[in-house]
Structure 1
Amino acid sequence: MKNIARANKMALNRDHSLMHLTEKELFIEYQENKKVEVRNELVNRYLYIAEILSKKFLNKGIDYEDIYQVASLGLIYAIERFDLSRGFEFSSFATPTIIGEIKKHFRDKGWSIRVPRRIQELSKKVNTAKMTLHQNLQRTPMIKDIAEYLNCTQEEVMEAMEASQVYTPKSLDLTYDNDGEDKDIQLIDLIGEKDKNFDEIENRDFLKKAMRNLNEVEKKVLEDRFFNSKTQMNVAEELNVSQMTVSRMEKRIIEKFRKELNKSME
């Protein structure tokens, strides 16, 4: 217990001594020895920068606490990379480093649906171009105007604008004006249901592929039994075979279908 108390006392004295050092002295100390307690003291002194920069990104679709954590991590990166000999103020060096980390976090985590980096970058340029062109043209810019301003195609501009819609998810309770009707329309009412014909199309496609593995007699058994609703006895009489033979052929057909199904699922 005495050893623990002595160690805690030494740590307190060391931390207390760090508090009396200037920022310049702390950076010199950290560059020479890379002590964690020195870095922690620097973090505590400059944490206000991370807090100020984090607040600039409020209401952008990501919780403030997450942004603040990323900004704090950016501050640590800045402390690690800062070179006192270059003569820059640390705050001037740390600001772009922290903002860069926050923007990187928004690029990677801010989109509710994963969008290619190229589209994300173009989406930001389109938003900036719209504001600039609105001021210059004194009207709402058209797709053509934005494309010419960014030196890209109109299709690329429309792709970026559509992609920006997934930056944050929309509530299903979102309402739209119903052109003068008494009741507004909710987004959930506009979302399409699954088309039952999709399953039917897939089943037909599967049947066509599976039937390629059947001979002519097996195809007749399949069609008569499952499409023409004939009994095994009727099919046996037409083929001049026993009912047991038809039953075995059915099992063989089902086994071929099962193998085809397993192959399609691999």
Structure 2
Amino acid sequence: MKENDSALKRDLKSIGTKDLFILFRDDRDLEIRNELIKRHMYITEILAKKYINKGIEYEDIYQVASLGLIYAIERFDVDKGFEFSSFATPTIIGEIKKYFRDKGWSVRVPRRIQELSKKINMAKAKLQQDLQRIPKVSDIALYLNVSEEEVIEAMEASQVYTPKSLDVTYDASGDDKDIQLQDIIGRDDKTFDTIENKDFINMCLKKLNEVEIKIVNDRFFDNKTQIQVAEELNVSQMTVSRMEKKIIKKFRKELSKLNEI
């Protein structure tokens, strides 16, 4: 039997798909698996194309679908009598949807919100047909048995699913030229951080004694070593180290209070 199997492997293209699956089941040979992949890549291509223009590059979707095909081939039980395409399709689609669920949002959104967003999209289509008008937030909330706040939260979160390019152009009314999104989007002002940090340090320094203030200035502003500071204070380097840790602890305590506000 082994000699027959070896002969069959040498001419895989001439073997029927069912017999090929039986061979793969028996010895899990990678060469046989690769042949099965080649024969069924059309399924991957068909399913991947259904997700074009959904916010993720087609090449990425195709790769995920191909991985799903491999999983399906490895898990397929030819003895159960099912068509492989019927078995592979939900497996591949499952991998694609999982990828969209994990990677398709430009900002990390809780799984609960992602799932609710999907339900809202389906509910809007159903309610618009039933009500013959665009459903209100209250209609969707009632239909899904959730609060209006949850519906609004999910609808706002869905805006990050497909981010807008900074090159998007808007018509500037009363102006000769259009405006790009990157020209009007807000930016963080580093000056604010500098001012906040300075205010915080000054506030903390007011709660330190003269020796502690000297240690802060010498160590963190004048870049002196602990040994240099110790010599100036006529104490041991270990004493300076302990005082430094004590000062940092005070700063952290003040910062924790600030974060609680």
So what's the TM-score if we normalise by structure 1? 0.73
Q: Distance in 1 between matches of 2:142 and 2:213?
A: 66
Structure 1, unaligned runs of 5 or more: 1-11, 219-247
Deviation at 1:257, TM superposition (A): 6.7
The alignment-based identity, stated in percent, is: 58
* Partner residue, 1:222: none
Residue 57 (str. 1) matches residue 38 (str. 2): no
Give 3-state SS (helix, strand or coil) of 2:11's partner.
helix
Q: Distance in 2 between matches of 1:188 and 1:109?
A: 24
Give 3-state SS (helix, strand or coil) of 1:188's partner.
helix
Deviation at 1:13, TM superposition (A): 7.0
Task: Give 1 or 2 for the bigger CA radius of gyration.
Answer: 1
* Partner residue, 2:65: 71
* Partner residue, 1:200: 195
Contact 1:213 1:256 in 2 (8 A): no
* Partner residue, 2:87: 93
Q: Distance in 1 between matches of 2:160 and 2:37?
A: 36
Q: Which amino acid aligns with 2:81?
A: G
Write the mapping of 1:209-220 to structure 2, written as runs, cut at 5 A.
209-214=204-209, 218=210
The alignment's C-alpha RMSD in Å is 2.8
Q: 1:154 to 1:176 in 2, by over 3 A?
A: farther
Tell me which moved more, 46-55 or 105-114.
105-114
Q: 1:73 to 1:252 in 2, by over 3 A?
A: closer
Q: Distance in 2 between matches of 1:202 and 1:122?
A: 40
Q: Distance in 2 between matches of 1:139 and 1:184?
A: 35
Residue 188 (str. 1) matches residue 179 (str. 2): no
Deviation at 1:42, TM superposition (A): 1.2
Q: 1:201 to 1:34 in 2, by over 3 A?
A: same
Q: Distance in 1 between matches of 2:152 and 2:100?
A: 22
Q: 1:96 to 1:253 in 2, by over 3 A?
A: closer
> Could you list the per-position Cα deviations for residues 237-257 of structure 1 after superposition, in whole angstroms to 9, with x for gaps in the alignment?
xxxxxxxxxxx9974462487
Q: Distance in 2 between matches of 1:36 and 1:18?
A: 12
Q: 1:249 to 1:49 in 2, by over 3 A?
A: closer
Q: Distance in 1 between matches of 2:21 and 2:69?
A: 14
Q: Distance in 2 between matches of 1:26 and 1:250?
A: 80
Residue 114 (str. 1) matches residue 108 (str. 2): yes
Deviation at 1:202, TM superposition (A): 3.5
So what's the TM-score if we normalise by structure 2? 0.74
Contact 1:54 1:71 in 2 (8 A): yes
Q: 1:252 to 1:77 in 2, by over 3 A?
A: closer
Q: How many residues in Structure 1 have an aligned counterpart in Structure 2? A: 221
